[in-house]
Amino acid sequence: MIDPKIDFRTKGVVMQKRRGSLKFIVSVATVSLLGLAHSASADTLRLLTWGGYAPENVVTLFEEETGNTVEVTKSNNEEMIAKLRATGGGGFDLVQPSQDRIAGPQAEFGIYKPIDLSKIDAAQFIPSMLEATKGNTTVDGEIYGVPHVWGTSGLVLDTTKAADVKDYTDLCNADVAGKVSYRLKRPTLIGFAFAMGMDPFAAYGDEAAYTDIMNKVEAKLIECKPNVKTYWGGGDELLNLVRSGEVVAAMAWDTGGWKLNADNPDITFVAPSSGALGWIDTFALPAKGKADDAAYAWINFVMQPKIAAMITEAAGNFTASKGADEFVSADLKARYQASFPPEAVDNIKWYPPVPAGLEAIEGGVLDRVKAAN
């Protein structure tokens, strides 16, 4: 996978059907012969996730160990929720939306079911991250998500040509005019709000205050529009823009910057001075999932440090697995440390859950920015 955050435009919805039937028969036979049937029911796990979160080598290991079969469907936050909403939470057994996208849709559409924490090996998780996610995904006292992969979005810069860009608002500077790109999506609104010295997260609960912030951001983005070459849509599109030199400063995910850094040392991911925006992708159970045991088995399996490191290699992002870092390649760690000095890590702004209704405010802003001339 080129980029774990493949956007809808790249249509990364590829079905990977893995039917290791022979393997399946052999393993079931072995397990029953030995009388060690810890998981006598071999299921098919229908996993709706991001590209890179279920690499083939991990799937194979899981299938060999448990006898379950895994069907992987790649998607993104919006499509995951749209799919679950269309079926009332059916069609998949395990999904991986970002932690801020669980509470709102659950309250509105009821598409998830609570997680039975007793079936999860909590010791494998980084405790602070587990607690934060539990807190953010609680609806009516029930917990709906546990963390898996986390990362940030910030600035991807060609440091030789855009040395002065320190924060999102610097993308509007004249010296990078015409060579700037960002997405026309909510992370951009949030990032600009922080860079303009406001705190949108604090205003999440106050619709009027949030509208006010968004109006200021809208004015800024419209003012900034002539600077923008294009609003990028897919991860590949952005990589191409930066790699070809057509864009020298962009708002993007950390992994994209690190990937480009591997090809061209001048390009890298920089945490903006107002703070990178941190996201955590979770595990959540769809309301009508049919293979909960297999889903829990998958969660516990991929959170093992060695397996989690394999996912980090594939996706480019780190996981919430405790102790997985030491299995990650030195290259990746070096890039991570270069982009995130300790103070930058402390400055990460983690997305709180999105209250229902905010999308409408943001949507209006995004529409007007797009239409502005």
Contacting positions for another protein (CB under 8 A): 8-11, 78-79, 81-82, 85, 105, 107-110, 184-185, 225, 228-231, 233, 237, 244-246, 356, 359-360, 363, 366-368, 370-371, 373
Q: Would you list the DSSP string of 161-178?
A: T-TT--SGGGGGSGGGTT
- Tokens representing 194? 């922080």
In the complex, minimum distance from the CB of residue 10 to another protein, in angstroms, rounded to a whole number? 7
> Which residue lies nearer to another protein by CB, 34 or 360?
360
DSSP 14: -
Q: How many helices (H) and strands (E) does the chain have?
A: 14, 16
d(CA 37, CA 295): 18
> Which residue lies nearer to another protein by CB, 75 or 268?
75
Q: Which helix (H) or strand (E) holds 216?
A: helix 207-224
In the complex, minimum distance from the CB of residue 186 to another protein, in angstroms, rounded to a whole number? 8
In the complex, minimum distance from the CB of residue 82 to another protein, in angstroms, rounded to a whole number? 5
Q: 């997305």: which residue's tokens?
A: 351
DSSP 21: H
> Which residue lies nearer to another protein by CB, 207 or 237?
237
In the complex, minimum distance from the CB of residue 11 to another protein, in angstroms, rounded to a whole number? 6
> Which residue lies nearer to another protein by CB, 271 or 358?
358
In the complex, minimum distance from the CB of residue 227 to another protein, in angstroms, rounded to a whole number? 10
d(CA 219, CA 198): 14
For the chain, state the CA radius of gyration: 21
In the complex, minimum distance from the CB of residue 138 to another protein, in angstroms, rounded to a whole number? 16
> Which residue lies nearer to another protein by CB, 242 or 314?
242
> Which residue lies nearer to another protein by CB, 224 or 297?
224
Give one word for 67, left, alpha or beta, with left for phi > 0 and alpha for psi -120 to 50.
left
